[in-house]
């Protein structure tokens, strides 16, 4: 039987009131993929209200908005990531990747020590 694999999950504390973790990073990526806060939330199994609250928190956490709402149009508006939003996701994923690489040996040690 294979050993369980420990995994790292990062929550970056931006300040005393705001954080960026895997859920918010996933939400930003889902918004980029779907063009909608509602669709992004649904794809993650969360309510529109919760997705909107997280999106609003992300926008308030940074000097420039990460998410831009586009109003109107024949089929209604949509939502996109701003250039800053794209940079934030890229930076978070880079931190995540580098930390996993830096801790790979220790994670292997812990994996071998875990019960089956």
Question: Domain ranges in the chain?
Answer: 19-113
* pLDDT of amino acid 77: 72
Q: Indicate whether 76 pLDDT > 80.
A: no
Token digits of residue 72: 């109107």
* pLDDT of amino acid 84: 98
Token digits of residue 49: 């209200």
Residue with tokens 């369980």: 4
- pLDDT bracket for residue 71 (50, 70, 90): confident
71 — phi, psi (to 5°)? -90, 155
* pLDDT of amino acid 70: 82
In this structure, of 2-6, 37-41, 45-49, 103-107, the range with the lowest mean pLDDT score is 2-6
Within the chain, what is the greatest distance between any pair of CA atoms?
58
| Secondary structure of residue 92 in the 3-state scheme | helix
pTM of the model: 0.87
Task: Compute the average pLDDT of residues 49-62.
Answer: 95
Dihedral over Cα of 93, 32, 41, 88: its sign: positive
Write down the architecture of domain 19-113 according to CATH. Orthogonal Bundle (1.10)
């Amino acid at each position: 039987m294979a050993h369980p694999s420990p995994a790292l999950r990062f929550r970056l504390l931006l300040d005393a009131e705001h954080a960026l973790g895997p859920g918010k990073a996933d939400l930003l990526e889902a918004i980029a993929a779907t063009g909608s806060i509602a669709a992004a939330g649904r794809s993650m199994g969360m309510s529109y209200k919760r997705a909107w609250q997280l999106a609003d928190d992300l926008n308030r956490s940074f000097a420039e908005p990460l998410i831009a709402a586009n109003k109107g149009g024949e089929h209604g508006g949509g939502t996109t990531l701003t250039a800053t939003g794209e940079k934030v996701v890229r930076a978070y994923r880079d931190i995540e990747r580098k930390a996993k690489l830096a801790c790979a040996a220790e994670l292997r040690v812990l994996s071998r020590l875990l019960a089956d």
